[in-house]
Structures are given as C-alpha cells and as structure tokens.
C-alpha cells in the first residue's frame, strides 16, 4: 500500500526535486553554511514520507 501511495505523479516530482535540491545545495554551499544546506531538501522528503504514510494507513483502514 505504501508503494501504491508513492506511485502518485506529484509525489514523484517532489522526490526528484528534493534530491536535486540536496545535491545542488550540498555541492554549492560554503563551508560555514554546509551544516544547514540539507534542511530544505530533507523537509521536502519528510513531507512526502508523511503524506504517503498517511495515505497508506488510510487505505489499510478502508480494507480492514
């Protein structure tokens, strides 16, 4: 059910953008900003995880 929830086109776009954000920010950040460069990309991935887990949980409850 989790894989079905992650099959949404918009979530795939968000995952791709988050990975792109992480790669660009981590590779272009200055040394003093490197400790905080990962936060935005990680926040997007965390939001995708929450949405997909809630969707999968909702589908699970509907079947049960």
pLDDT of residue 64: 74
Higher pLDDT among residues 25 and 1, named by residue: 25
Q: Which tokens hold the place of 51?
A: 């949405």
DSSP secondary structure letters along 31-64? GGGTTTTTHHHHHHHHHHHHHHHHHHHHHHHHH-
Q: What is the pLDDT, as a whole number, of residue 1? A: 85
pLDDT digits over 8-63, tens only?
999 999 999 999 999 999 999 999 998 999 999 999 999 999 999 999 999 999 98
pLDDT the model gives residue 37: 92
Q: Which range marks the domain in which residue 48 is found?
A: 2-63
Q: Return d(Cα 8, Cα 28) in angstroms, integer.
A: 30
Total domains present in the chain:
1
- How many CA atoms lie within 13 Å of 13's alpha carbon, on the beta-carbon side? 3
């Amino acid at each position: 059910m989790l894989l079905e929830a992650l099959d949404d086109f918009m979530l795939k776009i968000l995952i791709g953008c988050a990975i792109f954000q992480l790669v660009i920010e981590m590779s272009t950040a200055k040394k003093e900003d490197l400790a905080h460069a990962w936060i935005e990309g990680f926040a997007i991935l965390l939001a995708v995880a929450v949405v997909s887990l809630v969707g999968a949980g909702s589908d699970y409850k509907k079947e049960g």
